[in-house]
Amino acid sequence: MILCFDIGGSAIKGAVAHDAETIETLGRRPTPLNSFDAFVAVLKEVRTQAGVTPDCVAISIAGVVDPETQAITCANIPCIHGRILGPDLEEALGLPVLIANDADCFAMAEAGVGAGRGHRIVLGAILGTGVGGGIVVDGRLINAAGGFAGEWGHGPAIASYAGNPPVAIPAYPCACGQKGCVDTVGGARGMERLHRELHGADLSSEAIISALLAGDATATRTIDVYVDLVSSPLALAVNITGATIVPTGGGLSNSAELLALLDETVRTRTLRRFTRPLVVPATCRVEPGLIGAALLGLGMEKQ
């Protein structure tokens, strides 16, 4: 049995997983941001609520563990940022602890019980506020020891010109410290930035997509440029990983029309030509972080 956590900057969600299909949620609690003792106390409280002794603790978290130092980068939870979090939690909880990035856990969930089931190589893509991703191969997370694999949203990858007819695209600065990352144009804030650049108007991503569906010419132009910019890096990620399915989550993935446009364009740019959908909606819409953490822990049990 696995004690699972999905930890973000605002809430800690807990669950007990008996197997991949049986996950009992244990509610959500506010995330302590500035006290590690308070942070640990919340995890212990959930463990007590579970009422059983788990085999291990598996955590999905909005942060990245360095595979060499095991230090976690998690800027939105200051009390754990920079900590060697796994060993610290193992000492505090008296149990083995597994930690994975939330995008990696999303990919695990989709590979195990979602849209990627039955595929050897699954590239999970997040199109939310920003862009993220994770890779699962033969049911195992490629970042099992921590790391940045699957983060196709970062690196100076966006084209200087995009759309039909082509328009110049600035190399926008990214929060990661680089310029021209897919993250600067590929998420919801990036789509809004593109619309402002092209038309001098501020619209939310939801409004842009609604206008697209209504046939608005300015929104159509924005989405044309957006799809052109995002499709090439995503196709390259498919080529490099050999993924045969790209389950997609995040707020922008809720637009079937947008995903269909991305899928159509990505499939014209991959080395392998797919005659079926490749970029598809995620099917684990409820608690993918907990599901992914559960699968991570259950996989350790089998070793």
Residue 156 and residue 69 share a domain: no
Residues 54 and 145 in one domain: no
Number of independent structural domains in the chain: 2
> Is residue 107, in this structure, part of any structural domain at all?
no
**Domain assignment of residue 188, yes or no:** yes
- Rounded CA-CA distance 28/111 in Å is 25
In a domain, 106, yes or no: no
Enclosing domain of residue 59: 2-101+286-302
Can you give the CATH number for the domain in which 46 is found?
Answer: 3.30.420.40
Based on the fold, state whether residues 148 and 184 are members of the same structural domain: yes
Strands 279-281 and 121-127 come out as unpaired
Q: What is the pLDDT along the chain (303 residues), one digit of tens a residue?
A: 899 999 999 999 999 998 777 888 999 999 999 999 999 999 999 999 998 888 999 999 988 999 999 999 998 899 999 999 999 999 999 999 999 999 999 999 999 999 999 999 999 999 999 999 999 999 999 988 888 899 999 988 899 999 999 999 999 999 888 999 999 999 999 999 999 999 999 999 999 999 999 999 999 999 999 999 999 999 999 999 999 999 999 999 999 999 999 999 999 999 999 999 999 999 987 788 999 999 988 876 555
Backbone angles phi and psi of 28, in degrees to 5: -135, 150
Distance, CA of 236 to CA of 188 (rounded, Å):
21
**230 and 295 together in one domain:** no
Token pair belonging to 251: 């707020």
